[in-house]
């Protein structure tokens, strides 16, 4: 049994169905990417897993660490060890770095010490008393990842963490993902538009197209198959 098993997931919104039978899995200590064009349903998949922003789940199963995710409410999901770092970071703008992290710790059932997490993010440690609204996009992304890490997740769902960031910050985010996976045994499901990031950090890749998984490929296949990338990812 995998850490995360999603089978025949059908979900969408009042306005219509978006996912038409998504099958994917993530094993312990694995980094897996979910790729696809704009509107393919990547964010909807992430939100369906954690019950955020209420996409309606019409059918299928989602099992995490042996627990049926459909039987849990959104606020219970992070206690199971599943944590979403949403697209756009969504840090509390008026709270400082440390306050953002403490707030996450206060809401977690088994948090990591905030100081321990800050040790892993020297950039954040240096600006621990700065409100997040006064930080760059890259710094806010690090804070969003650190805030998730404080909750001591087994699996982190990262929704487009490198969107709009300068190349040198993208490299830093890649190394953070590798570090939390290798040193802290956190599995990662990464949604990315940037195929280079997925190739750099993930071992397996799912390609989502019009709400269905159309391919599951290794990093070598993704790197070498120009036709596949062109057809489904436009790159």
Supply angle C-alpha 111, 34, 47, rounded to 5. 55
Choosing from 11, 25, 41, 177, the residue that interacts with ligand ATP (CB under 6 A) is: 41
Residue of 37, 82, 94, 29 whose CA lies nearest to 211? 37
Q: Is 154 in the site for ligand ATP (CB under 6 A)?
A: no
The alpha helices in 88-166, defined as continuous H runs, are 97-106, 114-120, 122-125, 137-150
Interface with ligand ATP, residue 40, by CB under 6 A: yes
Task: State which of residues 9, 20, 25, 44 lies at the interface with ligand ATP (CB under 6 A).
Answer: 44
Identify the residue among 39, 88, 113, 234 touching ligand ATP (CB under 6 A): 39
Alpha-carbon Rg for the chain in angstroms: 17
Per CB under 6 A, does 88 bind ligand ATP?
no
Please report how close the Cβ of residue 218 comes to ligand ATP at its closest, in angstroms. Answer: 22
Tell me how far apart the alpha carbons of residues 226 and 209 are, in angstroms, rounded to a whole number. Answer: 17
Nearer to ligand ATP, 118 or 157 (CB): 157
Q: What are the backbone angles phi and psi of residue 121, rounded to the nearest 5°?
A: -125, 80
Q: What is the DSSP string of 72-105?
A: S-HHHHGGGTEEEE-TT----TTSBHHHHHHHHH
Q: How many residues sit close enough to ligand ATP to count as binding (CB under 6 A)?
A: 13
Residues 188-217 that bind ligand ATP (CB under 6 A): 193
**Smallest distance, Å, CB 46 to ligand ATP?**
8
Positions in 7-26 near ligand ATP (CB under 6 A): 13, 15, 18
Residue ranges in contact with ligand ATP by CB under 6 A: 13, 15, 18, 36, 38-44, 53, 193
């Amino acid at each position: 049994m995998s850490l995360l098993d999603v089978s025949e997931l059908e979900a969408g919104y009042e306005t219509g169905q978006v996912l038409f039978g998504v099958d994917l899995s993530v094993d312990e200590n694995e980094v897996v990417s979910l790729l696809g064009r704009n509107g393919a349903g990547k964010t909807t998949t992430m939100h369906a897993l954690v019950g955020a922003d209420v996409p309606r789940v019409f059918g299928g199963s989602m099992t995490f660490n042996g627990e049926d995710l459909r039987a849990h409410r959104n606020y219970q999901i992070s206690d199971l060890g599943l944590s979403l770092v949403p697209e756009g970071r969504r840090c509390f703008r008026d709270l400082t770095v440390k306050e953002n992290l403490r707030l996450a710790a206060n809401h977690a059932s088994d948090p990591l010490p905030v100081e321990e997490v800050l040790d892993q993010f020297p950039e954040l440690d240096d600006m621990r008393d700065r409100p997040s609204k006064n930080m760059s996009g890259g710094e806010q992304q690090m804070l969003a990842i650190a805030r998730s890490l404080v909750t001591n997740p087994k699996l982190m769902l990262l929704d487009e963490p490198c969107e709009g960031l300068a190349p040198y910050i993208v490299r830093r985010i890649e190394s953070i993902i590798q570090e939390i996976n290798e040193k802290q045994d956190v599995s990662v499901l990464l949604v990315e538009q940037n195929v280079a990031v997925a190739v750099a950090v993930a071992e397996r890749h799912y390609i989502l197209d019009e709400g269905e998984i159309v391919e599951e490929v290794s990093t070598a296949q993704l790197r070498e198959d120009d036709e596949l990338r062109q057809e489904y990812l436009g790159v």
